[in-house]
Structure 1
């Protein structure tokens, strides 16, 4: 597990992820009109990174380092808060709260929630000089390592390391901090997803340029000025800064559908005054993923047959194609002389596109002029005071503001996922609960909140109230527990006021970095030895290993897992995976396991995953492989993979 990731990280280079999907990871190489900037692309792909010439604006010091951090996998593990998660209100909840560094949290989320998030709202540190922001990270690269990974010389490597080690609060340090996180956030968003970022004047211009670089300039939606106060502040030049900004970007596919100008529509006599366009009818799914779409299409008029490509099956199924035919939605080769097609395609009418665009456009407010109802900073303070009877958190955003943004983003998708990875006091989580409770269309929005467990300092007057409160209720005195307690209290209040039937709970997970003693044991573990090392599993815990693996395998943090009893041995079953974590796997357990494969029709995990430290790898894998051979040769003809993880 950790050892595998550490070894993989050694081979990660700066452009590994970016090269794989140009438009996803090289957004800055696309101009505002959508054309590809080859010179910019060449600049991005240079083998040598000249850090000396990196500076302010887009080429800020540490940009290459930030890309590297985004590319490296996290070595943290996910530990469930079992006592909290098993409470009746939380056991079946789909809401998630994560305590940990949001860089690690985002990397974990991408393994299960990539392209799944409808709306991201964040309120990051503003780097004002008084908000406590300094750049910190846990990566201990040497000069030699950084030279190798970034292809830079010794002087350049030292410049970057100096920036990461001296607790800098410079513009470059802030941009480096934000770049890696926003790059990961971009990959979380759905094709019609949107992100809102609160910021003040200190970094607003830099953030706009940074977002242009990551999301693409053509994906900029708007900058919404939010009035945070009416009382004038005493500032230099006598100009009271009463406004903050909320910068918004959306995904490219959404913007393309908004513009609609690049689509080619046709007009034909059989559909007068109804322009239409065509769209490819194949997908990127294979026959195993979509068996109902794996069939030969027959043109009902000509009788011509069009076999499926098993590696890119049809978008329609054997059942749905009947409806498409009835609605004249399928166009065949030869139907129109002006079309040069060799296989069936789908027809979309312009009127439907316009209707859909109008619905999608509902995610945006009609103006950058936010209504007064969104509230100001004083309203955010009142929100939290109603729950805690005191000002427990400084400058929380008002719930009304976040409700306005989230509701507008999810207006036509009340089953959507909302993420806030600078959760703070969890205002956004409360907003999601409030929206769901007042949604007449049965709101089922889900939130994922991430908050660094910053230790509160009772000597700091801005933190003392929260510290004293958490101490009084026997909670850990870290900032994440302010958010946890807020969600619990807000849920109770909303339920009392509305009596709505919604998901009021949340599951809690903690991101932990293994201690050095555990890492040393993992490093020195002898795979060829006769015995496993049960103390390594004790260090991690079975629940932590299972939770981390389930998320890594794409099942998310709300996976439904079945504990399988194999004659006293507990295995864990989830869809295509069977996890063997504990060390007491015996010959008798194996016999029962393969009996289940052979006799239970619905039992067919394609992957058997072993926690390598628990076993003598050779003896267990040999025992499994011998029996798998027998099973593979049976009538079931199963193909099962054995995966040993460290």
Structure 2
């Protein structure tokens, strides 16, 4: 059995280049790179040149080769998610536009990781970070920007005689870009009886002819073709409504709540949906102790995982506390998936006097390793550690 979690200790640039040279591919990359907040830089690449570089320029030069290798590792249908805050968000967006191509940009998501806001220091109480999302090839990308968890059953208040939940949606296309001039085949009459609710594409007794119109009476179009309306008349209902110009009859679709239904994700993810820094600390504390200052919550990564197939090959080359590998195990347990995750981190020393150092976790790689081992012991899925050839 291929383990759900593998870990390699080493410089992520060396690991990435090795994987590229071996012809490896992954479907999903999540990274939470250092945010360049003023502390000493952990990644000191041998960058040639005589010019004095700003911290932003040094950070970008550190990230560039790693993102170039990451792009080459992604399968054609793959996508990259990168967490970042305001220190480098603008620079990372421009860098990703350059490395992947502007046309590969999918979203910039606001993530509410600190609902109360940071109270220390001057200025605003920052309560968010960002997720930048890029596709390897937007035409081939298999990412589905929707989730079953985003569906609210309360949005489906109606019940049929069998107890199935549904809601009424106007069959008329409410977008005025779609009208008889732009989509003439969708401008056709239906026939309905508001007393019985029956709708058909052909006249019947007690039916009235119904044309799609906007609220101001101008001609509109339906969202369904005539063929689809003829095929699914039981999913349509005629209702009498009070419009801007008085009473009229209109056609509505019965939109059903069914198992596995998905809803498009918004670009604002709230802490109550994906977790917060506080819940992330509690998760880590429960499995290995309070040994990392600002881990990401597994709920955030699980939402990301849910946008990709359940057999996705996942890579996190700034693995930190090991949240991504933990989330992969939780997701596999929840839906029976076969996701596999490779986590990469270096032996960056933990701070003397810190909880991690006191617990014998002398490097960040030790923290990653300890968490992924604990995940395998408590949740299953296996754990494997490997080293670069020659290391």
Q: TM-score, normalized by length of structure 1? A: 0.40
Match of 1:176 among 58, 61, 65: 61
CA distance in 2, matches of 1:379, 1:95: 22
Q: 1:387 to 1:237 in 2, by over 3 A?
A: closer
Tell me the equivalent position of 2:339: 445
The equivalent position to 1:136 in structure 2, one of 28, 41, 44, is 44
Q: Is the 8 A contact 1:470 1:482 kept in 2?
A: no
Aligned residues of 2:313 and 2:340 also touching (Cα < 8 A)? yes
The CA distance in 2 between the partners of 1:443 and 1:255, in whole Å, is 22
Question: In the alignment, what sits opposite 1:98?
Answer: 8
**Aligned match of 1:395:** 294
Once residues 141 and 11 of structure 2 are traced to their aligned partners in structure 1, the CA distance between those partners, rounded to angstroms, is 34
Q: Secondary structure at the match of 2:88?
A: helix
Taking the TM superposition and a 5 Å limit, the aligned residue runs for 1:419-498 are: 419-439=315-335, 442-459=336-353, 464-470=354-360, 477-495=362-380
Q: Distance in 2 between matches of 1:484 and 1:257?
A: 30
Give the gaps of 5 or more residues in structure 2: 144-184, 186-260
Match of 1:97, SS state, is strand
Q: Secondary structure of the residue that 1:202 maps to in structure 2? A: coil
SS of residue in 2 equivalent to 1:158:
coil
Structure 1 residues 104 and 183, CA, compared in 2 at 3 Å: closer, same or farther? same
- Write the deviation string for residues 611-639 of structure 1: whole angstroms up to 9, x where unpaired: xxxxxxxxxxxxxxxxxxxxxxxxxxxxx
Answer yes or no: is the 8 Å Cα contact 1:119–1:194 preserved in 2: yes
* Aligned partners of 2:32 and 2:318 also within 8 Å: yes
Q: Is structure 2 residue 290 aligned with structure 1 residue 382?
A: no
Greater strand share, 1 or 2? 2
Q: Is the 8 A contact 1:118 1:194 kept in 2?
A: yes
Cα distance change, pair 418–363 in 1 and its aligned pair in 2 (3 A): farther
| Contact residue 103 and residue 180 of structure 1 kept, 8 A | yes
Q: Distance in 2 between matches of 1:363 and 1:212?
A: 29
Q: Tell me whether 1:369 sits opposite 2:268 in the alignment.
A: yes
1:509, distance to aligned residue in structure 2 (A): 2.0
Q: CA distance change for structure 1 residues 399 and 436 in 2, over 3 Å: closer, same or farther?
A: same
Alpha-carbon distance change, 481 to 363 in structure 1, aligned in 2, over 3 angstroms: farther
Structure 1 residues 434 and 248, CA, compared in 2 at 3 Å: closer, same or farther? same
2:35 corresponds to: 126
User: What CA distance in whole angstroms lies between the structure 1 residues aligned with 2:68 and 2:297?
Assistant: 27
After TM superposition, the score normalised by the length of structure 2 is 0.64
Contact 2:4/2:328 (CA < 8 Å) preserved in 1?
no
Kept in 2: contact 1:197–1:248 (CA 8 A):
yes
Q: Which residue pairs with 1:158 in the alignment?
A: 50
Q: Distance in 1 between matches of 2:15 and 2:343?
A: 10
Q: What aligned pairs does 1:345-360 form with structure 2 within 5 A after superposition?
A: none
- Give 1:128 deviation, angstroms: 1.3
Q: Report the CA distance shift for 1:424/1:363 in structure 2 as closer, same or farther (over 3 A).
A: farther
Instruction: Indicate if the aligned counterparts of 2:135 and 2:141 stay in contact, CA closer than 8 A.
Output: no
Matches within 5 A, 1:235-254: 238-254=123-139
- Aligned positions of 1:214-613 closer than 5 A: 214-234=99-119, 238-254=123-139, 365-371=264-270, 372-388=272-288, 390-408=289-307, 410=308, 413-439=309-335, 442-459=336-353, 464-470=354-360, 477-495=362-380, 504-511=381-388, 544=389
Consecutive unaligned residues in structure 1, runs of 5 or more: 1-90, 147-156, 164-168, 259-272, 274-361, 472-476, 496-503, 512-543, 549-646
Give the Cα–Cα distance (whole angstroms) in 1 for the partners of residues 268 and 281 of structure 2.
23
| Deviation of 1:252 (Å) | 2.1
Partner of 2:85: 200
Residue-by-residue CA offset, 1:405-437 (whole Å, 9 max, x unaligned): 1122x2xx2222000000001100000011111
| Greater relative contact order, per chain length (Cα 8 Å cut-off, separation 6+) | 2
Q: CA deviation at 1:370?
A: 1.9
C-alpha displacement of 1:455: 2.1
CA RMSD of aligned residues (A): 2.8
Distance 1:201 1:257 in 2: 29
Corresponding residue of 1:108: 18
Whole-Å separation in 2 of the counterparts to 1:122 and 1:196:
7
- Report what 1:187 is aligned to: 72
Following the alignment from structure 2 to structure 1, what is the Cα–Cα distance between the partners of residues 3 and 13? 24
Q: Report which of the two has the higher share of helix.
A: 1
- Aligned counterparts of 1:391 and 1:227: Cα–Cα separation in 2: 22
